[in-house]
Structure 1
Amino acid sequence: MENPTFRPAVSIVIPTHSEKRWSMLVRTVASARSQDYPAAEVVVVVDHNPELYRRARRDLPGVTVLENLYAQGVSGNRNTGAFHTNTPLIAFLDDDVVAATDWLRKLVAPFADPAVVGAGGGINPAWETTRPRWMPDEFLWAVGGSYTGMPTATAPIRNVWSASMVVRRETFMAVGGFRTGFGKKGNQARPEDTELCLRMSAHAGGGWMYVPDAVIRHEVPAQASTFSFFLRRCYAEGRGKVQMAGLLDGSESLGAERDYLWSLPKAVVRNLAAASRGRGVAHALRAGSVVAGVAAAGWGGAVETVASRRAARRPAPVAAAEAAQ
């Protein structure tokens, strides 16, 4: 329940990188500035794109526009904006989302509990085309959406997504923010947001809250609606989660993933049963997609595990040079 006397100041940080996303960025900024819980500052951070930076400075009045101070990548982009702010809470939105007018107010409410270090909200896919018939509800995360199996009411959760996230500044700063060099860049889909959530929880001994009623709409372009994209995304997720485990406490950090995997056979059975009762071929397609998605993620995890072990056995450059002398 929201506490009307609890009104900490919040800044909103929006990373961006490409002129191709300009129209989406404009919509995101407009939704950030239209919140019924007004942000103290809206900060747009441009990732090493001088032309886009100049355009944003010129055409986004009332918004602070910065350039990424770190190496190219979304983690440094977000950190640039977050470290610029001075409010006790920092919110993050991606540049291809539209937040409901009550989004920020609902995400701030859990912070009345001092044990909460962060919160995230529900993400509804906004398909440029129609949703593919084969797309399982359990795999909507592959297009940046909330998926079946997540809480349906406000509840504790291990991690949320940076497309819709609010963090307690003190804890965020204490852990150094997002891990630069680890995140989404090009075809890489490393889970920098999950990794941040785990470090913040470990540092503060606090937790994260998921608020499904704090809704954003996430744009899903036509190219992200193909089955080949789905398989590539699952493969990349498998690799990224193994990389994350290597940075933290090994497989102990993947408990939520194991629980999720155990839930998927039920999804296959449920869809096959629906198909057998004549409820449409889409259910059979979704059952097959669950199997394919698990296989692609598993293959990605296996590839990354092998690569990591080979890298660990490879001698360091200095040691190799000394051995050659």
Structure 2
Amino acid sequence: MIAVSVIVPTLNRAALLAGCLESLARQDFPVESFEVLVVDNGSTDATAALSEQAMRESGIANFRSLLEPEPGLLSGRHRGALEAKGDLLVFVDDDILAEPGWLSALAGAFDDPRVHLAGGPSVGRFAVEPPPWFAHFQREDPWGSSCPALSLIHMGEERRLVEPHFVWGLNYAVRRRTLFDLGGFHPDCIPARLQHFQGDGETGLSLKIAEQGHLCVYEPKALVQHCIPASRLTLDAFRARFFYQGVCDSYTAIRRLGAVPTPPAAGELLSRSLAAHHGPGREELELAHIHQGYAEGYLFHNAAVSHSPALLDWVLRKDYFDYALPRLEAEA
């Protein structure tokens, strides 16, 4: 019987996917009790051949590869959830390496029926030494350390209850019933040309889990390494990441209000981004153009939704299990 479904959306990252699948094949979890679903989001590299090879050689007893051409991470996540056989759904990114005891630790967190969501640490596996300015984007808090721009988080060595927003999408375990009852994920990782369809990903689901009062667990043994290539450690890459975060936050604000709010001034948005990274000291001012990306993303999305009733309808959808992107007026 399948107890756990591990869902791995992927797009044109065959080399990284290979490492991810190898780590999943090394899990100490009973092989007959979990499945791995690779959801190929229309790759043009060697992903399809690699998935076929993995099915033959990995030793994973239950392995499926699915083709889902609709662009965006949402489609990969929801196609995987709709196809999954497990009662526990574990979503990972294709660029993680899971420790051998990772799946056992995550599944163990759900022995308590009150727990609906669980995650664990994500530590960086850097292809090159991070540049000196990278320290600006690392947070040290009483609960631990994080770098949201690269989805890195560590909250200590003890299992404990946490707020759901501390579980991030690269290492995200949720009860199947909970995911469907609460409407699933929101749009995420939309291609740049379709960025107006971007949403807040797993954040929306986590907010609903919190509203329901469901318990969420941080499990330190459910550790993954997040592979960070040199291309993600550039100023341009961080600016693009902050633009994306601005879009996400605009989407969240519109859904919260049920309408498009008057946008904050660009200076206010810049200050908001700076304050989230230790305040406006000398280093922050030198990196202000990265934080300006956040303001530009927020204002871009706010303006796009303001001018399109169809796009507003998309943002305010009850759920996205029909995840096909709509055709807007300008595209007709």
> Which bin holds the TM-score, normalised by the shorter protein?
0.7 to 0.9
Number of aligned positions between the proteins:
282
Question: 1:90 corresponds to which letter in structure 2?
Answer: L
Residue 25 of structure 1 pairs with residue 33 of structure 2: no
Task: Say if 2:28 is the partner of 1:36.
Answer: yes
Structure-1 separation of matches of 2:183 and 2:301:
26
TM-score (norm 1): 0.73
- Equivalent residues of 2:161, 2:215 under 8 A apart: no
Counterpart for residue 186 of structure 1: 191
State the AA in 1 paired with 2:222: A
1:98-126 CA deviation, whole Å, 9 max, x = no partner?
01122222222332332322112211121
Contact 1:45 1:77 in 2 (8 A): yes
Aligned to 1:267: 278
Identity %: 24
Q: 1:121 touches 1:164 (CA, 8 Å); kept in 2?
A: yes
Contact 2:10 2:39 in 1 (8 A): yes
Give the structure 2 partner of residue 278 of structure 1: none
CA distance, structure 2, for counterparts of residue 157 and residue 33 of structure 1? 30
1:217 counterpart residue number: 225
Counterparts of 1:69 and 1:94 in 2: how far apart (Å)? Answer: 16
**Is residue 161 of structure 2 the alignment partner of residue 155 of structure 1?**
yes
- Which one of the candidate residues 243, 249, 260 is aligned to 1:241? 249
Deviation at 1:170, TM superposition (A): 1.0
The aligned counterpart of 1:304 is 301
Aligned equivalents of 1:81, 1:310: Cα separation in 2? 33
Is the 1:117–1:168 Cα contact (8 Å) retained in structure 2? Answer: yes
CA gap of 1:130–1:289, structure 2 versus 1, over 3 A, is farther
Contact kept in structure 2, 1:10 and 1:40, CA below 8 Å: yes
Q: Could you tell me which runs of 5 or more consecutive residues in structure 2 were left unpaired when the two chains were aligned.
A: 140-145, 260-268, 314-328
Contact 1:267 1:290 in 2 (8 A): no
CA distance 1:120–1:289, shift in 2 (3 Å): farther
Give the number of the structure whose alpha-carbon radius of gyration is greater: 1
Give me the whole-angstrom Cα distance separating, in 2, the residues matched to 1:172 and 1:79: 10
Q: Which letter maps to 1:118? A: L
SS at match of 1:178: coil
Change (3 A) 1:53 1:115: same
Q: What TM-score do the two structures reach when normalised by structure 2?
A: 0.72
Question: Within 5 A, what are the aligned runs for 1:86-101?
Answer: 86-101=85-100
Output the aligned Cα RMSD. Answer: 3.5
**Counterparts of 2:293 and 2:117 in 1: how far apart (Å)?**
31
Specify which structure has the higher proportion of helix: 1
Query: Which of the numbers 230, 237, 262 marks the counterpart of 1:229?
Result: 237
Say whether the 8 Å CA contact 1:46–1:65 is kept in structure 2.
no
- The alpha-carbon deviation at position 161 of structure 1 amounts to 1.6
**Equivalent residue of 1:42, what SS?**
strand
Match status 1:113 vs 2:146: no
Amino acid at match of 2:129: T
Flag the 1:289–1:84 CA change in 2: closer, same or farther, 3 A: farther
Alpha-carbon spacing, 1:261–1:101, altered in 2? closer, same or farther (3 Å): farther
Query: Secondary structure at the residue paired with 1:67?
Result: strand
5+ residue gaps, structure 1: 1-7, 252-257, 273-283, 321-325
Aligned partner of 1:56: which letter?
A: S
- What is the CA–CA distance in structure 2 between the aligned matches of 1:98 and 1:128, rounded to whole Å? 14
